[in-house]
Structure 1
């Protein structure tokens, strides 16, 4: 394809921020990511989905913090392409924690940070919408998966202070191959709409588009919530269904253990 030989990997975070990020995990001979997977208060996923991100993923006619201008026509053409439609439909638009510094899945037989095994989200919906003020924005929806990275992200997204305020606000950022074609009147590089190849969206802690701070909606309950709910249910059974018809004093602990065993559950 004409002009494709000089395409570059284009991400919307400061390059120095990517290189300096403590979350830019490097590969060693040990392929296991050392992420705490303690079961003390782990989540109970629904169909291997922990939650979903939705809202602004990109901005038509927007400028990134590293001074790249993305025409609305670029996004219209990108979203209309068969490649992007198929990726969204098939769930192959997998995203990472921070942009990988390489695009190859493997290097010398070792999986790189761009490998799907290190993904934590999958983007399933992208479209241009108009808000109540008439401003166009790029709506997106991505699901957080029950993977090592996904579980870490779920913990980050859920974290709140003593009063329930969100502690950390990660952003979403596009990853694509493209090149620039001139500059706009403000000196920003204009991204070439005829040579823009979207790969995915990644979660980042150094946002390139200030508006790209989607909401997180958890769908999996914390294990502590599940235990509390189950204990309440068992207590209701004992108090409403068993005690009223019991001929002798009820041993609540014994009945509780019996119910748990019959349900095939571990101790609550």
Structure 2
């Protein structure tokens, strides 16, 4: 019975406490840190550079999560209309995508969006583009890769609730004269509000925590706060400031998730 609390303490509370201790430590000249109580690392978070990158990171993660949900929900709804065998096959394929690391995903999309061997060459061959262009690095490349990275999680969140939908509801709506498109937007979509919020939060958390995809596929102005945390810890050897940035990011994300969840629960109760 003590197993879950022990595991929670080992893998969550202890690392969190260690990060908190490091965040108030003093930066050592050799690139490590020495014990102390220095709040200047938290004050530095409120400088224009890091505040601007934090706001950009949250907005961009919200856009990526919205794109993910916008693609995942119709895809899952169409998936449930297929035969059981086809559903199992596609779900296995989606689960296999989860095994890919961010490094593989980033390199794959950098090749697909490159000028020399990317999708633009196919569009040139099809006479849809006058000449090959490079779409990476760029903001669109980061958004596309993040959507691809988080899409399987959103599909797995949607699938149980969408698969349990009563088909008689759609049939009744169409009997009353509603088109399939109107049935989807006016009946099916509102019934899945809680699942949509859950999938959005999953995608948002993964997007805000991603650092390899923005770093490899984006320009420096497209780097998220997670990339800056990695830069401070590895390149700048400033572990206390990196720890302070991590805790501030975690705190802001937790507050936002709680606000969205509570708002969704209130709307669902109404």
Instruction: Indicate the TM-score class for this superposition, using the shorter chain for normalisation.
Output: under 0.3
**TM-score of the two chains, using structure 2 as the length reference:** 0.24
Could you say which structure has the higher helix fraction?
Answer: 2
Could you say which structure has the higher strand fraction?
Answer: 1
**TM-score of the two chains, using structure 1 as the length reference:** 0.24
Q: Which has the larger radius of gyration?
A: 1
